[in-house]
Structure 1
Amino acid sequence: MNIILFDGECHFCNTSVQFIIKRDQKKYFKFASLQSEIGQKLLEEFQIPKTTDSLIFIEGNSSYVKSTAALKICRRLDGMWKLLYPFLIIPKFLRNTVYDVVAKNRHKLMKQTECRIPTKEELERFLH
């Protein structure tokens, strides 16, 4: 199980999902919004507080949030993105400080007000 949980009501998060899909040619990841029924079930199953406002990556029997989730996702992406993975050696509190600044300003960062409609093939990677 390699699932990315994302805020389905956030344009920045939706754009991030599209970014990941384009760089995941092996189709390693599946996706579910935090607001979906399966997203809520996974939060409960992995004992992640429902108030968590972060990217969440579930890999096998482990779950990761914030910068750890982002870096573990980068490790599986095509191209140079793998080179970001070693940043895990930076203390989590420093990485998450940067993550939190971006997350806090994510609505300001995205001027886009509409989400791209996924193709039929892409939709198969979303859990309902």
Structure 2
Amino acid sequence: MNVLIFDGDCSFCNFFVRLTVRLNDNPDLRITDFNTDWAKENYRPDNDVDSVIYMANGQTYIYSDAALHLMADANRWLKPFILLKLIPRFLRDTVYKLIAKYRKNIPVKNVCEYPTQKFLDMYLK
């Protein structure tokens, strides 16, 4: 089972997760937020890390690696995203951290839409 852990209080993060759910064709992919019992039991947070967390194949990914591996695992048509790892990590992570720093100020449309059945099926409580 592969799991994406995200900030459930962040509208930009919720937008990213809804997009991931729509694109997902991986039956092993699950999602949860940092406040769920599953996340509290299975992930020990590092308070210095402001990132989605992607746990897959015994690895834990953060920052840009988390986003790239998630996209590559979610849908076979998105596998080329992994090629972005050719860009040095410090550059990718700098861009990621800049977005993360201001993510709560990024306006996102349809923040309060009702969760789809696919979302509910993927969500770990």
Say yes or no: TM over 0.5: yes
Deviation, structure 1 residue 117 = 1.8
Amino acid at match of 2:18: Q
Residue 38 (structure 1) aligns with: 38
Equivalent residue number for residue 95 of structure 1: 92
What is the match of residue 65 of structure 1?
A: 62
CA contact under 8 A between 1:67 and 1:99: conserved in structure 2?
yes
Per the TM alignment, residue 91 of structure 1 is displaced from its structure 2 partner at its CA by: 1.8
Residue deviations 1:49-93 (CA, integer Å, cap 9, x gap)? 155321100002110001000010121233753322111122211
Q: More deviation in 54-63 or 118-127?
A: 118-127
Aligned pairs for 1:1-128 (under 5 A) are: 1-44=1-44, 48-78=45-75, 80-112=77-109, 114-128=111-125
TM-score normalised according to structure 1 size? 0.85
* Rounded Cα–Cα distance in structure 2 between residues aligned with 1:40 and 1:112: 29
Give the secondary-structure state (helix, strand or coil) at the position aligned to 2:51.
Answer: coil
Structure 1 residue runs of 5 or longer lacking an equivalent are none
| RMSD of aligned Cα (Å) | 1.9
Runs of 4+ in 1 over 4 A off after TM superposition: none
Gaps (5+ residues) in structure 2? none
Q: What is the identity, as a one-letter code, of the residue corresponding to 2:88? A: P
Q: Secondary structure at the match of 1:105?
A: helix
Deviates more, 1:33-42 or 1:92-101: 33-42
Contact 2:64-2:93 within 8 A present in 1 as well: yes
Q: CA deviation at 1:111?
A: 4.2
Contact 1:14 1:115 in 2 (8 A): no
What is the number of equivalent residue pairs in this alignment?
A: 125
Please say which of residues 85-94 and 13-22 is displaced more in the overlay.
Answer: 85-94
Which AA in structure 2 matches 1:76?
D
